[in-house]
Amino acid sequence: MIVDDEESILKALSGALEDEGYICLLARSGKEALDLFQKERPEVVLLDIWMPDMDGFEVLKRIKDMDSECSVIMISGHATVATAVKAMKMGAADFLEKPLSIESVLMTLRREESGRLSKEVKRGEPLRLTWKESSSGAQVPQKTIKKSAVLYGTGLHSGQKTGLILLPQPPLTGILFYDLAEDVVIPATVDHVASTDFGTSLGKEGVYIRTIEHLLATLHAYGITNLLIKVDREVPVMDGSAIEFCRLIEEVGLEEQEEAVDILKVPKRYEVRNGGRVLIVEPSEELEIEFVLPHPPFNGDSMKFVLKNPEDFKREIAPARTFAFLKDVEKLSKMGLAGGGHLHNVLLLDEEGPVNTALRFSNEPVRHKILDLLGDLYLLNRPLKAKIKATMTGHKENIAFLKRLKEDLGL
């Protein structure tokens, strides 16, 4: 069912969907939509937010009261991230920005169809997925989240209010970022890295998504391989760490899928040097990272971390906050960056140590560097087995290594 008070949208959207084999019901007001829904019980509703007689939020609430399983996709031509987050918290399955592209609508409808099929499978024999072996090596099940999730916050560099909408995806989708304002989908792959300055940014068709690394590190730790992430240009910084992302994933839960994904194993030794920054990667049967920060105020701080399970990540790495030096704050400001950095979400350091807060760990900065590295490594969209020793490295060196590995493995 399509609900919109603009006749042109009803005609264009229904015509395109009928060409794809869908049966469409049309409603031009909230009241008409509720009457039609009660009689016909459609499986999916495309619902405009701003209508004169009854807004889409009220219609959404009443539809979910009648049928909590119905997929309601909200649409709007002048909404904010806050509007999208509100809709998702009220039970909407997704949010689409006008002008609508038929590709985005079809992608959303197909995802909802896949979700219903998955529920049907679950009513039968449960899927029991375990580690597998194939000709290419070890595999693990692909994963997504059980239901949609939302999170609201501020962008570290833009300083603007932003948010996340996480949507389950079928197998073989991968991790995708979707810019709410521009209707552009950007795969979270190393090929789409647009910048490594003060964070990892993805780009496509002139659209950029900033500071993706903390969220990707969380998806890496929890083994999520298929996900659509709707965001307005920048992933929210939250408290500067990844702990809120962990809580969000655990709140909605994980779903193992039938298809498996290959585990990548580093085939040989790699070395990336950039002045005093050195990244050495060697073959291993697990993902082991040793990070060293030799200069003041760190004075040789180091840590070894083996990614074995989400619990270790959540306890040892996720709480570590992003950090910056006081001497760099003015420079970042002049560059138009760090506009969302505040005392509560950035660990500020001088040559003696932290100046604005107590450390969560005695070596919190080095743990945060491991967090960033785990996020960058997931731009391969699959688990990686390697022994990594990093000294003072950052996003630039991480991406340089990934590009060399990708080329060698023919990915």
Nearest-angstrom CA–CA distance, 323 and 305: 19
3-class SS string, 153-182: EEECCCCCEEEEEEEECCCCCCEEEEECCC
The residues carrying an active-site annotation are: 395
pTM, 2 dp? 0.79
Indicate whether 8 pLDDT > 50. Answer: yes
Under DSSP, is residue 343 helix (H, G, I), strand (E, B) or coil? coil
Task: Tell me, yes or no, if the two domains 2-102 and 136-261 fold the same way.
Answer: no
Q: Encode pLDDT of 82-101 as tens digits.
A: 777 788 888 998 888 888 88
Nearest-angstrom CA–CA distance, 331 and 329: 5
Pair 190, 377: CB distance under 8 Å = no
Span 333-356, mean pLDDT? Answer: 61
CATH topology of domain 136-261: Ribosomal Protein S5; domain 2 (3.30.230)
DSSP 339: T
Nearest-angstrom CA–CA distance, 108 and 93: 9
Nearest-angstrom CA–CA distance, 325 and 259: 45
Nearest-angstrom CA–CA distance, 370 and 274: 18
Span 97-121, mean pLDDT? Answer: 77
Per CATH, the homologous superfamily of domain 264-409 is: lpxc deacetylase, domain 2 (3.30.1700.10)
Q: Kind of pairing, strands 347-350 and 323-325?
A: parallel
Percentage of the residues of the chain whose pLDDT score is greater than 90: 63
Q: Encode pLDDT of 36-81 as tens digits.
A: 999 999 999 999 998 888 999 999 999 999 999 999 999 987 656 6
The CATH architecture annotation of domain 2-102 reads: 3-Layer(aba) Sandwich (3.40)
Nearest-angstrom CA–CA distance, 101 and 144: 25
Q: What pLDDT sits at residue 121?
A: 42
Indicate whether 20 pLDDT > 70. Answer: yes
Percentage of the residues of the chain whose pLDDT score is greater than 70: 86
Indicate whether 226 pLDDT > 90. Answer: yes
Sequence ranges of the domains in the chain: 2-102, 136-261, 264-409
Residue 288 CB burial class (10 angstroms; 0-12, 13-18, ≥19): middle
CA distance readout (Å), 243 to 99, 146, 213, 319, 345: 35, 19, 13, 5, 12
Q: Is the peptide bond before 297 cis (omega within 30 degrees of 0)?
A: yes
